[in-house]
Structure 1
Amino acid sequence: MCRWAAWIGTPIFLEKLISEPEHSLIDQSRNALSCKVAINADGVGVAWYGDRPEPGLYKNVHPAWSDPNLLQLARQVRAPLFLAHVRASTGSATSYNNCHPFTLDKWSFMHNGMVGGFDQLRKRLEHGIDDALYLKRRGATDSEVLFLTAMGFGLAQAPIAAMAKAVQTVERHSRDVGVTPHMRFTGCWSDGETLYAARYASDDFAPSLFYHRSEAGTLVVSEPLEKNRSDWIEVPPNSVLTVSHTSLSVTPFIEGAREDNSPRVDDLIDA
């Protein structure tokens, strides 16, 4: 039920994602269209890349529509790469440390989805995080576990393969405890040079993912920033979108995963 938007291209002001579009991220925080629950009021966060290799980061536990600091930031901060997220919790507390995006070194990550049986699995999954990386764990979400697990699998060296392995590993543990849906994942991550976004589910209901490419750059979103979706391209289930300043590709995410039956958007249950 979370909503997110990302940009890579010529530098723009954050308000181009957050507040200006007809169906901006602030609008989506109280009126999401591509999931059953329309309200995403459990926090907001933005990561951006400027003159330094590591991303800037802003988070707040207030709803995006009632955060005046966010509007001020959106009007002043200009960057060539943004990750922005509004959160709807499926169980973990509304707190600063549970807000997306999550960052580590030059990497940033945000997520829309869920892990079946995470409450039963949390201890087991956290034990699987590399000791040095576990010291960086600040919150209690399944999303942060996926990010740190992927970092431990070598995200810096193999950004797609490491994330796919993390998703498969966590899904396998969910299958062990038998709680469905085992995995719903639409994630976005970046090192400041390239933007990656993947769409995957263990059932037929992969959370939505779209992109829009122009001469200025590429928008990647959980749902379009306009209510007219005709100019937006939907990423197929079990696919990963890779976008740089000069190229874009869509390739398989997890080899051998089910790819039958495209999801019905009106039936999506995201987290």
Structure 2
Amino acid sequence: MCRFLAYRGEPIFLADLVCAPAHSLVHQSLHAVEAKTGTNGDGFGIGWYGERNEPGLYREVRPAWSDENLRSLCDQVRSRLFFAHVRASTGTSTTRSNCHPFTHGRHLFMHNGQIGGYGRIKRRLEALIPDDLYDTRVGTTDSEAIFLLALANGLGADPVAAMARTLKTVRCLMDEAGIDEPFKFTAAFTDGESLFAYRWSCDAKPPTLYFREERGGLLVVSEPIDDKDRGWREVPKGCTLVARAGEAVRVECLNEAMSRLAA
């Protein structure tokens, strides 16, 4: 399982959250405590918004703890909205194109979890991605496939309904293939203004996901970067954390959105 961090708020240096805290994301790449694997050394990536419309992106196959370029970059880059991710592969190769976050236009997406039995539905899942989006697929992960299918389902217009539709589609493919392994999904998505964080699994045991208010904004993490008593709250199971520009943070039920699709 991977570890990730998403921030939206007053502009800060990336290092303040990615590198500096006692249990920072870089520290978690070697010493995660709330994941099945304590080491997340199969590459890393950061995506951030600056003065241009589309985000900057830096991804590398080296472990985050051993990349001096990552620390230097984080010390210099200041951003109001950024993603950071350290990867623990669930079967696909360790390549730069398989590292998170993934980008499409102004959109950023990153994922922790896996589609159980992915190899048995990969072809059918990819066949649902429209050609114009499939042409942008550069890696082989289930995470990127989910992202592209969600974009096809309207992720940019309605991030909760589109992701609910995508998760339901993947689950149906798994049922048709007779797959018993669970589908676990925590993820973060942004259009450069609003931030959405999802926590869901088909076995009601989703990976961990926490949030708190941070410097006038919102911080979302796979596991706390400092003591748990410092305002951290869990994103409820089966829900989406919604932080739209100019609105208070709220929680929407992803399970209910999926149920409405079945009605």
**Whole-Å separation in 2 of the counterparts to 1:179 and 1:139:** 23
- Computed over aligned residues only, the root mean square deviation of the Cα atoms, in angstroms, reads 1.4
Aligned to 1:249: 250
**Whole-Å separation in 2 of the counterparts to 1:101 and 1:158:** 20
The superposition leaves residues 63-115 of structure 1 with CA deviations (integer Å, 9 ceiling, x where unpaired) of 00001110011000100001100000010000000000000011010000110
**1:75 maps to amino acid:** D
Aligned to 2:182: 182
TM-score by length of 1: 0.92
Superposition pairs for residues 16-35 of structure 1, below 5 Å?
16-35=16-35
**2:236 maps to amino acid:** P
The superposition leaves residues 155-182 of structure 1 with CA deviations (integer Å, 9 ceiling, x where unpaired) of 1111111112111111211122222333
- Note closer, same or farther for the CA distance 1:256–1:131 as it changes in structure 2 (3 Å cut): closer
**Whole-Å separation in 2 of the counterparts to 1:100 and 1:213:** 24
Q: Contact 2:164/2:258 (CA < 8 Å) preserved in 1?
A: no
**Whole-Å separation in 1 of the counterparts to 2:83 and 2:148:** 18
Aligned to 1:261: none
**Whole-Å separation in 2 of the counterparts to 1:244 and 1:107:** 14
Superposition pairs for residues 73-152 of structure 1, below 5 Å?
73-152=73-152
The superposition leaves residues 108-139 of structure 1 with CA deviations (integer Å, 9 ceiling, x where unpaired) of 10000110110111111111101110000000
**Whole-Å separation in 2 of the counterparts to 1:211 and 1:245:** 17
For these two proteins, the number of residue pairs brought into alignment is: 258
Structure 1, unmatched stretches of 5+, are 259-271
TM-score by length of 2: 0.94
Q: Contact 1:43/1:63 (CA < 8 Å) preserved in 2?
A: yes
**Whole-Å separation in 1 of the counterparts to 2:96 and 2:51:** 25
Aligned to 1:67: 67
Q: CA deviation at 1:229?
A: 4.1
Aligned to 1:191: 191
Q: CA deviation at 1:253?
A: 1.0
Aligned to 2:173: 173
**Whole-Å separation in 2 of the counterparts to 1:242 and 1:255:** 15
